Amino acid sequence: MTLFVVAIGGALGACTRFAVIQWFARTARPFYIATFVVNSVGSFLMGMALHLLESSVAFAFLALGFLGAFTTFSTFAFDAVRLMRTSRLQALVYVLLTMVISFGCIVLGFKIR
């Protein structure tokens, strides 16, 4: 049962991430901004889920499934490599900001009661 719940959450999270990335692409923002926003928001929600969800099924659906697929390290890494081709400094700033902001967001989300 838990595997099915994680799979459904993961499918919904991946589709939501795709929709957000497509929306950002239509607004002519740089390609890496969408991934940065998705990872920051997802980290904040993951922090909240860590202490708000009592049910293991709800945690499996939201945290492991939906947010696990919504946030994405591989796309972040891919975007950093693409950005490195044009500006190593921008790529470094992107990587550092993503790490610091995502970590800060998960801590902030966890502390909100």
Specify the number of domains making up the chain. 1
> Tokens 């044009």 sit at which residue?
86
Cα-Cα-Cα-Cα torsion 88, 93, 99, 101, nearest 10 degrees, comes to -160
Token pair for residue 57?
Answer: 């099924």
Rounded distance, CA 62 to CA 51, Å? 12
- Crossing angle of helices 88-111/31-52, nearest 10°? 20
- pLDDT tens for 27-58 read 988 989 999 999 999 999 999 998 888 889 99
Domain carrying residue 61: 2-111
Q: pTM of the predicted model, to two decimals? A: 0.89
Rounded distance, CA 87 to CA 69, Å? 28
- pLDDT tens for 79-96 read 999 999 999 999 999 999
H/E stretch holding 72 = none
